[in-house]
Structure formats: structure tokens, C-alpha cells
Chain A
Amino acid sequence: MNRFDYIIPKDLEEAISLVKGYGLEARYVAGGTDLLVRLKQRALRVNYLVSLRRIGELKGISRENGSVRIGGMTTFREILRSEIVQSHLPVLIEASKVLANPQVRNVATISGNICNAAPSADSLPPLMVLGATLTLRGPEGDRTIPLEDFFEGPGKTRKANDEVLLGLSVRMPDQETRFSFQKIGRVSQDIAIVNGAIAISLEKEEVRSVRLVLGAVAPVPLRLRGVEERLTGQRLTGHLLDEAQKMAEKEVQPISDVRASEEYRRHLSGVVVRRLIEKASGIEDL
């Protein structure tokens, strides 16, 4: 690890002006569970880390006009313990439970999980099927961007280096929409080989609308639009599920790495899609 200077600014304004001033020599740091590991592995070198940990306005979970707002510096521990998330966004609870381990969840933040832009990040499929919107603040002011449009590739986002992710907001889902989350790893709480989430709304076993996202199977968390289109307007039958499973295997674009081969990831993608639909719809063994 190189000798960077670790700076704890007193407020958001100071944080932004520091990173703007230092340019690419500086990075924001949240819980550090991705960034410090990369620095220690010498996969990255920076001269300044600007800490967001003490900036109160980036923390907290609230309900505002039919939406849930989650501050960027909210930790996964805090998400798991939030009554608002438990009652309105249980699919995010499912994902947070199997994200890393207690020590990591006590410091790791949702903004870190998003900005790190790992295709395997566990909060991303749930947040994408929930249709989350991000709010960023940079030297020139605030802007919002749908989470779905935020990622460009592994570790790459549309955020400028000096922009802070203030938080995200999610419209509270209607009663009819059902959700589920799946993660397959070597052991539970390991980085996912494949993960995914679904939001599906049914009318008498017929699919009215569906959003389906898989992680770790493409350079960015991937919406399976082909499968979504195939399902929409159809009655859920065993035959349809078989078809969705096969389509998913083709629609993903996985790579081989230390965790799994491309072939195995394709196979798992189909399995995960099937389980997501079964679990969310409550219709099993079709």
C-alpha cells in the first residue's frame, strides 16, 4: 500500500472541493472494504483519500412522498436493521443478509457497493428491479440518474471522480408486485458466482409486468429484456419456465474467472431465473 494522506473533511462542501482540487490523485472513501483492499493489493494507487464517513447528511433512511430514500453512507448493518426497508423493500434485506460478513457489513456502505461497480455486487439486482434513482453532487451541483444507466463496465460508472453519491431513492412498490432475490456463491456470503432479483406482477397467474436482473454474468448488472418480453402477458406454466430458463442461458454474457467458468455461469443463470420466478410468484414445481 502506498503512503496516501487520509483526510477527514468537516462537511460535504469541503470533501468535494478537496477531490476537485486534487483531481485523479484523490478518491472518496466510504467504508473502505473495496478501496482499501485494492490499495493493499496494489491494484490502485492514490495520494489522497477523502473520507465521507463523518458526513451526517449522507446517512439515514427515510420515507418521502411514496418513496424510500437511502443515504449513500448508510451501512448494510443499518439497512438490515431499518424498519422502513424491512417493511417496504424486503428484497434489499434478502440481499444485504448474504452480503459479506458481520465485520464487513458494519462498515460497508450502499454507496460503496454501487460506485465500486462490481458486476457481482449484491445490492444492485434488487435496486435495479426496484427502479432506483441515484442523486449525485459535484462541484457544479446536483443531478439524478437512473441506476440502470449508471454502469459502463466493471468498476466504471458515469460518475465523475469528484462527484459524491448522495443517496438513492426508490418508489414504494405497489401491493401487487412481488420480489425475490437469489445468490449462488461457493459458500454463502462469498462474492456471487451469479446473483439476481426479480420484480413481477401477476394477474391470475398471468404476467402483467416483470423486471429481471442478473449479476456477475456480464460487464454490468444485466437486465434480461429478452426473458422479460417473453414472459409478459403470458400465463406462468412449466413450459414457459423451461423456455425462460433456456433463454436466460443465451442472453447472459459471462466470463470465466477464479470463481466459475463461463459455461457454469450460463447454466446457473438459467437456474437462478427459474428460482426467482418460482419464488416470487409462489408457484413452485410447475
Chain B
Amino acid sequence: MKRVVHFTLNGFEVEQEIESHKMLLDLLREKFELTGTKEGCGQGECGACTVLVDGLAVNACLFPALEVEGRSVTTVEGLIGEGGRLHPIQEAFVEAGAVQCGFCMPGMVMSAKALLDETPNPTEEEIRRGISGNLCRCTGYVQIVDAIKLASQKLKGDGRG
């Protein structure tokens, strides 16, 4: 059965018809062609599909599309700055050498954003817990943790959040 959902997507008011058994991940990738958000496991285990709903990190593969009605969704595409500038968190990931194949990155960056929004100066332990729902098959996490520390410093100077 098709239904219409209204929500805020990366700052824009949108509405879209979608079959009611679809997940937010399908809505983003198929209907809005926002393919930054990735599908890994499709079952809540890997975090590749992490987006923010009303500021909280959720797995879009397990979030029913219709549940975003009236809510605000931020995807990795929503982090882009003026003139296509990378977000400070993304810059930090590049500078720290935290990216290899890149598949986990959109989810990892969104988890980092959720963490830093709530905890601007996280300890290493808090960082590790903050990304504990995101798997990375390449990096071994050390540079990712470094990148989030660096991002925390950048954001203090930047005021953008």
C-alpha cells in the first residue's frame, strides 16, 4: 500500500509517496537518489546506513520510511558546506588518513556527528562507544578515532557543528 510522507530532508521540506513497507534507506536511495547513505548488512549490525533523525543516529535500514513523518532527517549529503566545502568532520577524516575503501564512511561520519553534537570533547572511550555501531573492514579504527579527536578540535574553532 502506498502512502505519502512529509518531512524535512537536509533542511528542505519534502513530501514523497512510498510503499508503506519500505525503510528510510529505500526512501533516501531510491526516491531521493541520495546514495551517500549505504546499505551493508540491512539488519542493524554494521551502521553503513546511519543517518540522523531529529539529531539522533539511527540505522536507516531498520527505520520505517513512514516514521519520518514530521521529523527532520540529515544524511551525509546534508553536511556539505558553502561552495561544496567538506564538513570539518569530513576534513578531519581525510587529514587523519581514516578513509580506505570508504564504504563505511558516510555512516561513520554521521555517528561522529551525532557524538560530537552531544559530547563536543569526547574521551577516547566515549569515541569508541560512539562508533560501536559502525563496522569498518579496512582501517582498524585507530585513524578513525584520531579523526574524531581532530574533528572535535576543528569544530571548536569553526562554530558550525
Q: Mark B42-70, 1 if CB is under 8 A from A, else 0.
A: 11100100100000111100111011010
Cβ < 8 Å to A, chain B residues 1-22: 1, 3, 19-21
Shortest Cβ distance from A6 into B: residue: B20
In the assembled complex, 7 residue pairs joining A and B whose CB atoms fall closer than 8 Å, in A order, are A8-B66, A8-B67, A8-B69, A29-B64, A40-B42, A100-B44, A104-B133
| Contact (Cβ within 8 A) B21 A102 | no
Q: Which of A4, A29, A51, A106 has the most CB of B within 10 A?
A: A106
Residues on B with C-beta less than 8 A from A2 are 21
Shortest Cβ distance from B23 into A: residue: A36
Taken together as a complex, chains A and B put the C-alpha atoms of A3 and B56 apart, in Å, by: 27
| With known contacts A53-B67, A106-B57, A40–B21 Cβ distance under 8 A | no
Taken together as a complex, chains A and B put the C-alpha atoms of A77 and B3 apart, in Å, by: 29
| Contact (Cβ within 8 A) B1 A103 | no
| Contact (Cβ within 8 A) A5 B56 | no
| Contact (Cβ within 8 A) B19 A3 | yes
| Contact (Cβ within 8 A) B67 A103 | no
Chain A positions near chain B (C-beta within 8 angstroms)? 1-8, 29, 32-33, 36-37, 40-41, 49, 51, 53, 77, 100-104, 106-107, 188-189
| With known contacts A3-B19, A3-B21, A6-B21, A103–B66 Cβ distance under 8 A | no
Is B129 in contact with chain A by the CB < 8 A criterion?
A: yes
Taken together as a complex, chains A and B put the C-alpha atoms of A3 and B2 apart, in Å, by: 11
Residues on A with C-beta less than 8 A from B132 are 101-102, 188-189
Is B111 in contact with chain A by the CB < 8 A criterion?
A: yes
Taken together as a complex, chains A and B put the C-alpha atoms of A3 and B20 apart, in Å, by: 8
Nearest chain B CB to A78 CB, angstrom units: 11
| Contact (Cβ within 8 A) B133 A102 | yes
Cβ < 8 Å to A, chain B residues 66-91: 66-67, 69
| Contact (Cβ within 8 A) B62 A36 | yes
| With known contacts A103-B59, A104-B59, A106-B57, A6–B66 Cβ distance under 8 A | yes
Residues on A with C-beta less than 8 A from B23 are 36
Nearest chain A CB to B9 CB, angstrom units: 19
Q: Apart from A5-B20, A103-B47, what 8 extra A-B contacts exist at CB < 8 Å?
A: A3-B19, A8-B69, A32-B62, A101-B47, A101-B133, A102-B133, A103-B44, A103-B50
Q: CB within 8 A of B21: which of A4, A106, A188?
A: A4
Give the total of B residues in contact with A, Cβ under 8 Å: 28
Nearest chain A CB to B38 CB, angstrom units: 14
Interface of B is mostly: mixed
Taken together as a complex, chains A and B put the C-alpha atoms of A7 and B21 apart, in Å, by: 10
Taken together as a complex, chains A and B put the C-alpha atoms of A277 and B66 apart, in Å, by: 47
Residues on A with C-beta less than 8 A from B129 are 102
Nearest chain B CB to A191 CB, angstrom units: 11
Residues on A with C-beta less than 8 A from B44 are 33, 37, 100, 103-104
Nearest chain A CB to B5 CB, angstrom units: 10
Q: CB within 8 A of B58: which of A40, A41, A51, A103?
A: A103
Shortest Cβ distance from B132 into A: residue: A101
Taken together as a complex, chains A and B put the C-alpha atoms of A102 and B117 apart, in Å, by: 14
| Contact (Cβ within 8 A) A107 B63 | yes
Q: Mark B106-127, 1 if CB is under 8 A from A, else 0.
A: 0000010011000000000000
Nearest chain A CB to B78 CB, angstrom units: 17
| Contact (Cβ within 8 A) A103 B111 | yes
Q: Mark B129-146, 1 if CB is under 8 A from A, else 0.
A: 110110000000000000
Q: Mark B18-30, 1 if CB is under 8 A from A, else 0.
A: 0111010000000
Q: CB within 8 A of A5: which of B1, B43, B111, B115?
A: B1
Residues on B with C-beta less than 8 A from A107 are 58, 62-63
Taken together as a complex, chains A and B put the C-alpha atoms of A1 and B19 apart, in Å, by: 13
Q: Which of A3, A77, A102 has the most CB of B within 10 A?
A: A102
Shortest Cβ distance from B60 into A: residue: A103
Residues on A with C-beta less than 8 A from B130 are 102
